[in-house]
Amino acid sequence: MDTIVDDLSTRLAHRLRLERDSRGWSLADLAERSGVSKATISKIERAEVSPTAVVLVRLASAFDLTLAGLMLRAEGQGGRLSRAAEQPVWRDPETGYLRRQVFNRPDHPIEIVKVEMPAKQRVTLPASSYAHIRQVLWVLSGTLVLIDGGERHELGAGDCLGFGPPAEVTFANESAAPCTYVVALARS
């Protein structure tokens, strides 16, 4: 695994423990609020396993954070300049989905994320992950099917889609080739 990915996994594990401890929650409390088992949370916090995107969304929602907000806290404070070699990268162990945090700052309303979705993979995120953000998705290469609140959108290279009100969203690469896309998020 890439050193940047390993480093982010470790920082994410520490951040999750910090979020739980700062609220005075036990593993059982977080498990009840997130729907993720105590054993899984414990392994994630010890950096023994890397959580999937779906598990991260559940944990972030339990803390009343978006996935982007949780990742921002784990990735640390960004500067005005985001050098490619220093951009945090995280890989979903279940799908191979690769997430690169291109730009983020706690004092800036815009965040940019680049995603590489492997062929024949999909990720479904609940509406709660979009509660405090607005998003625009831009496909750079390949094709992507996005199902937003039950509405299916088939996107090709160059296509751009703005998200509506918070709804469950499925990102699916139904093709035999990888898909790369950029998501621009604005905090509301």
Q: What is the mean pLDDT of each run of 10 residues along the chain (188 residues)?
A: 61 89 93 95 92 90 81 70 86 93 78 96 85 88 95 97 88 98 87
The amino acid present at 118, given as its one-letter code, is P
What CA–CA distance (Å, rounded) separates 119 from 65?
29
* H or E element at residue 22: helix 3-22
- Give the predicted TM-score (pTM) of the model: 0.71
Task: Check residue 2 and give its pLDDT.
Answer: 47
Is 1.10.260.40 the CATH number for 3-75? yes
What CA–CA distance (Å, rounded) separates 136 from 75?
22
Fold for the domain defined by 84-187: Jelly Rolls (2.60.120)
Task: Check residue 114 and give its pLDDT.
Answer: 97
Q: CATH 2.60.120.10 occupies which residues in the chain? A: 84-187
